[in-house]
Amino acid sequence: MIRVQREDFDIGAEIRALTEGRTEIGGVASFVGLVRDFVDDGGAEGSTAIRGMTLEHYPGMTEKMLSRIEQEANRRWPLDASLIIHRYGALAPGDNIVLVVCAAAHREDALQACSFLIDWLKTKAPFWKSEDTGDGGRWVKAKDSDDALAARWEDR
C-alpha cells in the first residue's frame, strides 16, 4: 500500500493496522525519515541550521513510481505486507517525512526489503526538497552517495 499525503502519520497506528490479525507475520521492519535541523556543508564549514523544508512532488507520477517500487520489493522478497507513506508540503524540524514498513514471516526478508525500498524511493520517486536556511529557500542537491546506495540493489 502506498500513500502520498500532506498530513502527518501515526507510526504505531500504521504498523498495527498493517499487522492486525495477520498471525503469519513474524517480523516487522520500519524506517522513518525525519526533518533534521541542520545540513552538512562538508569540510571545515561544518553545518548550516535549517528552519524547515518544503517538499514538492509530481502528482500522478509519484504514486505510479511508489507503487512500482513496492511491487518490486514484493517480487524480490516474500512479504506479507508493505507500506510506504511519503509526505509533501511544508515541514518543520522533527516532523516525519516518510514511513516504510515491511512485514514478513522472517526478519531478514523484512529488513532487506525495507532497506531496498528507502534506497530506491530516494532515487526514483519524484520528490524535491527545498530547505529554509533563514535567507530564503534553497533546493537540495541529489547526492552521489544516494545513487550508490540505490545501485547496490540493481543486479538482483
Partner 1 sequence: MKLVYFAWVRTRIGHAEEDVALPDGVATVADLLNWLAGRGGGYAEALARRDLVRVAVNQEFAGPDTAIGDGDEVALFPPVTGGGAMEGSA
Q: Interface residues with partner 1 (CB under 8 A)?
A: 31-36, 39-42, 55-58, 60-61, 64, 86, 97-98, 118-119, 121-130, 139-143, 145-146, 149
Question: How many Å is the Cα radius of gyration of the chain?
Answer: 16
Smallest gap from residue 142 Cβ to partner 1 (A):
3
Identity of the residue, 107 or 143, whose beta carbon is nearer to partner 1 in the bound complex: 143
Smallest gap from residue 39 Cβ to partner 1 (A):
8
Smallest gap from residue 105 Cβ to partner 1 (A):
26
Please give the Cα distance from 91 to 54 (Å, whole number). 6
Identity of the residue, 17 or 128, whose beta carbon is nearer to partner 1 in the bound complex: 128
Identity of the residue, 20 or 45, whose beta carbon is nearer to partner 1 in the bound complex: 45
The DSSP annotation for 53-108 comes to EEEEE-TTHHHHHHHHHHHHHHHHS-EEEEEEEEE-EEE-TT-EEEEEEEEESSHH
Strand 2-5, strand 27-34: pairing: unpaired
Identity of the residue, 25 or 86, whose beta carbon is nearer to partner 1 in the bound complex: 86
Q: What single-letter amino acid sits at 60?
A: G
Identity of the residue, 19 or 63, whose beta carbon is nearer to partner 1 in the bound complex: 63
Smallest gap from residue 107 Cβ to partner 1 (A):
20
Query: Residue 137: what are its φ and ψ, rounded to 5°?
Result: -85, 150
Strand 89-91, strand 52-57: pairing: antiparallel
Smallest gap from residue 46 Cβ to partner 1 (A):
11
